[in-house]
Structure formats: structure tokens, C-alpha cells
Amino acid sequence: MQTTLIILKPDAVQRGLMGRIISRFEDKGLQIIGAKMMLISPELATRHYEVHRGKPFYDKLLRFMTCCPVLVLAIQGVGAIEISRKLMGATFGSQAEPGTIRGDFGVSNGFNLIHGSDSPESAEREISLFFTEQELLPYDRACEGWIYDISGGKPE
């Protein structure tokens, strides 16, 4: 099992797309084990996006991510990071394939609706920025055997 951080950005919140986007992850079989709506502080945004410091879009990104509430999710499942990235689609809505979150709901290259961790290392770092251990609530689901083929003894 992997856990990844997903942020529904200000444009997704303002456009009323939270439920439709969350449904995509749940429909795929991924499990939400943490969720909170919050206003990201400038300090937290700076820490979260430190890898982009010095890039031309950095200041605009910080202003965007701190302008209004976001919905932060911790999502778990087998291959959750890769699956989530595929569900999200290409970074720019204008280039994202139909059927992806960005492809179906976005056209902007600046407002791209959603953030998802890109590796297990960044997921671990990012989740620790937004959630305490007590805020993550993994739980057993009766449907696991119907989501993953476990006939070989481990989820596939």
C-alpha cells in the first residue's frame, strides 16, 4: 500500500468540483484516509513548494495556493501515487487527455485544479507537512477483495 498527498487547489474549490474529483479516486478503488479543508499559510506554501523556489512561476504559485481554502487529502492504495497521477492528467489542462481530471475540468496552464505527490519520498514529506499521524485514519474495507485480486495472497 502507498499513501499519497492530493490537494484540490483553490480553483477546484471555487468551481465546486471537490465532490466530482473525490469521486474519481474513490471510483478507482483508492481509499481516503485523511481529509481537511484549510487555508494554506504562506509559510506552509513556502515549505511545500520549496523545490520550485527561484523558478519564474514560484511567487504566483504561492499567491494562488494561499488565496482561499483548499481541500487536502491523504489517499491510500496499491500503486496510489502512479494511479493518482494518471487520474490527474498532464500538468496543463490544455494538454491533458480527456478522461483525466485536468483534461475534463481544466483548460488553464496556470490554474490546474489539483496537486499530487510524484514519488514515495515526496509523498512522505508532503503528508507530514499537512497531516499529523493522528489525522490519518486507515481502516479496513470489506470491499478490498473486490478492488484488488488477492487470490495469490497479496493485492494485485
Catalytic residues: 115
> Looking at this protein, which amino acid is placed at residue 36?
K
Contact 9, 65 (CB under 8 A): yes
Residue given cell 477483495 in the structure block: 145
Cell of 83: 494511479
CB atoms within 10 A of CB 147: 15
Question: Which among 9, 143, 23 is positioned nearest to 75, based on CA atoms?
Answer: 23
Contact 96, 103 (CB under 8 A): yes
